Every structure is written in C-alpha cells, then in structure tokens.
Amino acid sequence: MKLYEKTAFELSQMLKNKKCSAVELLGDVNERINNVEDKVGAYVTLNESAKSQAEAVDKAIADGREIHPLAGIPIGIKDNISTKGLRTTCSSKMLENYVPPFNATVAQKVADAGMVITGKMNMDEFAMGSSTETSYMHLTHNPHDTDCVPGGSSGGSAAAVAAGEAIVTLGSDTGGSIRQPAALCGVVGLKPTYGSVSRYGLVAFASSLDQIGPMGKSVKDVAMMQSLISGHDAMDATSKDIAYPDLLANLTDSAKGLKIGVPKEYFGEGIDDEEKQSVYNAIKLLEANGASIKEISLPSTEYAINTYYIIASAEASSNLARFDGVKYGYRAKDYDGLTDMYEKTRSEGFGDEVKRRIMLGTFVLSSGFYDAYYKKAKLVQRKISQEFSEAFSECDIIATPTVPSRAFKIGENIGDPLKMYYSDVCTVTVNIAGLPAVSMPCGKSSYKNMPLGMQFIADKFKEQTLLNAANAYENLVGGFDVISKAL
Ligand code: GLN
C-alpha cells in the first residue's frame, strides 16, 4: 500500500515510530499529484515551501523533540482560507493575484502543529456553487468518474482526498459545501457547530452560516483535525469560549444505546431511490447492532432552500461590497471616474453566479422587500432551529441522505441554477440552525460505483456524540474505501 492511501491516523503512528519520514510521505503524495492532477484538477496553487516544512518535522523527530500527532501530515487548504505568503484566490478573477499578509487562525494552527501544507484547493467562486464549475480557474473532476463533478463548493478539497493528492483537507461549509462534495467523492467531511472553529481569515460568504471544517478518509482523521482547529479565538467575535474535548481520545465505536432520529421529510420526492435505500440499509445495520430508531418529523424542511438562499445571498451582497478595486484584488484597466471604476471592476472581476447572488441579496434587503423576504426568512430560521431542538430531546443524532443523488455530469446543471441549488436540500438546514453534521460514504451507485453519502446531525457542540455515531458505523462496515481506483 502506498503512503498516500493511508489515513492521517495511521501515518501519524508511522511517523512517530519512524516507519517513514515526513519528507518521504510528502514525496509519495507529490508523486501522486504528478500522476493524477492533470485528470482531477484539485489544486489552484501548489505550495513551494512544503518540502522545507516536511524537513523541519523530520529534524524535530531526529532531535527527539515532542511533536503534534498531526505533524508531517500533508494537508490541502481550500482557497478561501488566508495563508500568509501563499496565494488565496477564492477561485475568482477578483483575487487571482492576492497573496495574504496574514494567516487565518486555522492556517496558523495547522502550521503550528507542523502539518505540511501541500497547496490551495479549487472551489466554486467565493464558495457559491455545488459543483466547483463556477471556479474562474479550471474545472475539478470527480476522481471516481472524471466526467462527473466533485460537488462543491469545496470540490478541490474533497477530490484531493479521494484521489490521494492530500491526506486531509480543509473546506468551508455555508450550506453544504463540505458535506455535499464529501458525499459525491466518497470521503468523510465534518461541518462543525457554528462558533466552534474560528472564521478569522476565512473570506466571508455568509458570516452567520460559514464554518471551516475537515475532510479525510476516516472518522478518526476528521476527529483529530477538528480537535486541532476548534477553540475560542479572540479574533472572531462569534467564536464560542467553552472547553472543547479531545475528540480522538474520547472516540467510541459502539452503536449500543444510540438513539437515531429519522426525519421523513428527508426521504421524500426528489431523493433518488438508491440514495434513500443505502441510508436505510445503514440505519438498519446500526439498529441490528444496538441502536434504536425513531421516525421523527421536521416539518419546516420544505422551506429550507428558500430560507437559505435569501439569508446567504443577503449576507453575501454585503460581504462582497469590499471588492471594489480600491483595497485589494482586481481593478479594471480603463475607467472614467470612481463610479465607473467600481462598476467595471465588479462587472469584470466577478463571475455570473456571484453576480446573481449579489443581485438577489441586494433585492431581498431593499426597503420595499425586506419584510417580505429577509425578515420572513429569519422567522423561518427560528422555526427550523426549534424543530431541531425538539427532535434532540428524543434522539442523539438524526440520520439523513447527504445529497439527493450521486455526482452529476459536468455541465449537466450549470445552466439551471434552481436545479443546482436543489443539491443542497439535505444540508442547508444544518447551517440555518448552526448545528454540527458529518457526511460519510454509505454505499455505491449502480452507475459506475459512484459513492453515495449519509449525513448524521447532532445538537450544538455535540461533535463527540456525532463522531462516536459515525465511528460506530465506520467500524460496522470495516472502514471506508476512499481512494479512487478509476484514475
Ligand atoms: N451550494 C451552496 C451555495 O451555493 C452552499 C455553498 C457553501 O456551503 N459554501 O450557496
């Protein structure tokens, strides 16, 4: 087995026991990148200082210094997370040449732990999209079938894990952007509780919904990563100051006594039969091993997509006002005065989907329509949160499909925004309510063995409960087979 096929957890043990070096591990991942990146297109930028980061870890080990368990593990970072000295484009023409002068808090934590940053991952422009097709840079292909999308917006991050081009990655999730691509690429992806991971240095899309989270080959890997990146941060006013558990140390693997809620609204029309069936099978397996199952109802789910696109676009229209050609990023070449400079810069610098969101957001916030759209969406948001709270009084976790169907073909939905928005139907409620959720592989499609994904949702700050349940499932199926054999 090649090193790139192993989990971060396994590699961490190997590094500690000197079964491999950080430089060797990076070399193996780099060779894989050389072999498959042409077909996948997961990266926007490769990090030229990765080698020296790996050498520093090997030196620390040779000197007998204490190292972090994740030291030496190659990690790819989504290109909307600021990395000091390393280009951070948000896959937009607007920031094509932007090099941040500072690290996002999560990037600093990754660096302080001695992780080796392989590069920056492709994404939908400013994290708006579900297929990575809105990237200004290039397409990313699903490693299991390169005619298909990897999902989005963190498509590069998910594809890299499935292709073996990074051991773990970071993504961001505003309405599903970690979980949906994780499901379509067959990897594990965690969207943490709002407020548990600092957003300082994450280029804002919808500030009240955005969270950074990890992707990897196993529940253990995302548990290790989440414990590294979570924690209070004075630089983010929405970051919650509580004690965060060591998720790996407290990880259990039994389904016994687990109470699973199954909301009927997530298994209705619009969700493919094979997706539903694979989730039902997974739930039955957990039940056969000691979990109890309860059918529940979350009636406001039908309003979730509308609510999400109103709130997210409203916030985006405000957040993206900063890209005006003055402070940073792209500026139009020819213009006639300040207003013309703003107009041309924004017209030329943003792609169609970003413009669509800015227009929609500006509209729902405008004085004549604010009450009818934005205010109403905020009321529905409260209703959705209450329904989840009630559900968690009778179950530990909620199990649903992550996505309505397996990965779709490149080009299939890009001309139909509403169809594209529908791919978030199972994930947006979690962001609306600020909850943690994890997606994991739960079967294969009859079409080319493409991955299908299952989502577990838990109550706020219950990442341990959430990952314990996911780990129980992973153990029952004998681990996830993540690396694509189709490349
Ligand atoms: N696909 C959703 C959107 O386009 C979610 C994006 C995200 O989570 N960043 O808004």
Between CA 206 and CA 238 the distance in angstroms is: 13
Phi and psi torsions of 398, nearest 5°: -115, 135
In a domain, 290, yes or no: no
Instruction: Compute how many other C-beta atoms are within 10 angstroms of the C-beta atom of residue 138.
Output: 13
Instruction: Write the pLDDT tens digit of every residue in 283-303.
Output: 999 999 999 999 999 999 999
Going by DSSP bridges, is the β-strand pair 451-458/259-263 parallel, antiparallel, or unpaired?
unpaired
Average pLDDT score over residue span 9-24: 97
Burial category of 64 from C-beta neighbours within 10 Å (exposed 0-12, middle 13-18, buried 19 and up): exposed
Instruction: Compute how many other C-beta atoms are within 10 angstroms of the C-beta atom of residue 452.
Output: 26
The confidence score (pLDDT) of residue 369 equals 95
312 ligand 1 Cβ < 6 A: yes
Closest CA to 108 of 256, 10, 229, 231: 229
* CB 181, CB 214: distance < 8 Å: no
Spell 12-35 as b/e; 16+ CB within 10 A means b.
Answer: bebbeeeebbbbbbbebbbebbee
CA atoms within 13 A on the CB side of 42: 34
Q: Give me the amino acid identity at 286.
A: L
213 ligand 1 Cβ < 6 A: no
The confidence score (pLDDT) of residue 131 equals 98
Task: Give me the domain span that covers residue 406.
Answer: 3-260+392-476
Q: Which residue of the set 92, 177, 218, 313 is catalytic?
A: 177
In a domain, 357, yes or no: no
Structure token digits, residue 428: 């947006």
Atom of ligand 1 nearest to the CA of 423: 1
pTM attached to this predicted model: 0.98
| Structural Rg of the chain based on CA atoms | 21
Structure token digits, residue 285: 């397996």
In a domain, 293, yes or no: no
Residue 254 makes CB contacts below 8 A (sequence gap 6+) with 289, 290, 472
Sequence length of the chain is: 487
* 333 secondary structure, DSSP code: S
Check whether 399 has a pLDDT greater than 90.
yes
205 ligand 1 Cβ < 6 A: yes
In a domain, 115, yes or no: yes
| 153 assigned to active site | yes
Closest CA to 90 of 153, 39, 48: 153
- Residue 206 Cα to ligand 1 middle (Å): 10
In a domain, 352, yes or no: no
In a domain, 311, yes or no: no
In a domain, 342, yes or no: no
The confidence score (pLDDT) of residue 328 equals 87
The confidence score (pLDDT) of residue 92 equals 98
Between CA 429 and CA 191 the distance in angstroms is: 12
Residue 419 makes CB contacts below 8 A (sequence gap 6+) with 413
Average pLDDT score over residue span 469-486: 97
Q: Give me the amino acid identity at 35.
A: N
176 ligand 1 Cβ < 6 A: yes
* 202 secondary structure, DSSP code: B
Closest CA to 392 of 455, 457, 303, 437: 457
In a domain, 348, yes or no: no
Between CA 343 and CA 345, with CA 344 as vertex, the angle to 5 degrees is 95
Q: Which residue of the set 6, 78, 191, 462 is catalytic?
A: 78
User: How many domains, in total, are found in the chain?
Assistant: 1
Q: Which residue of the set 153, 157, 198, 484 is catalytic?
A: 153
Report the chain's mean pLDDT, rounded to a whole number.
Answer: 98
Check whether 109 has a pLDDT greater than 90.
yes
Percentages helix, strand, coil for the chain (3-state, rounded to 5) are 40, 15, 45
- Residue 176 Cα to ligand 1 middle (Å): 6
* CB 420, CB 129: distance < 8 Å: yes
| 120 assigned to active site | no
Going by DSSP bridges, is the β-strand pair 259-263/292-296 parallel, antiparallel, or unpaired?
parallel
Closest CA to 441 of 198, 243, 207, 144: 144
Average pLDDT score over residue span 333-345: 97
* CB 441, CB 187: distance < 8 Å: yes
Percent of the chain whose predicted confidence (pLDDT) is above 70: 100
| 230 assigned to active site | no
Helices of type H across 266-375? 273-288, 304-319, 338-349, 352-365
Q: For the domain that residue 141 is a member of, what is the CATH number?
A: 3.90.1300.10
* 320 secondary structure, DSSP code: G
Instruction: Write the pLDDT tens digit of every residue in 344-360.
Output: 999 999 999 999 999 99
Residue whose tokens read 């962001």: 431
Instruction: Compute how many other C-beta atoms are within 10 angstroms of the C-beta atom of residue 326.
Output: 12
Atom of ligand 1 nearest to the CA of 152: 1
Residue among 79, 80, 125, 128 whose CB has most ligand 1 atoms within 8 A, to mutate: 128
The confidence score (pLDDT) of residue 349 equals 98
Atom of ligand 1 nearest to the CA of 353: 4
Instruction: Write the pLDDT tens digit of every residue in 432-453.
Output: 999 999 999 999 999 999 999 9
Structure token digits, residue 295: 């059918």
Residue whose tokens read 């192993």: 6
- Residue 284 Cα to ligand 1 middle (Å): 31
Between CA 362 and CA 139 the distance in angstroms is: 29
Instruction: Write the pLDDT tens digit of every residue in 360-398.
Output: 999 999 999 999 999 999 999 999 999 999 999 999 999
Structure token digits, residue 274: 């094979």
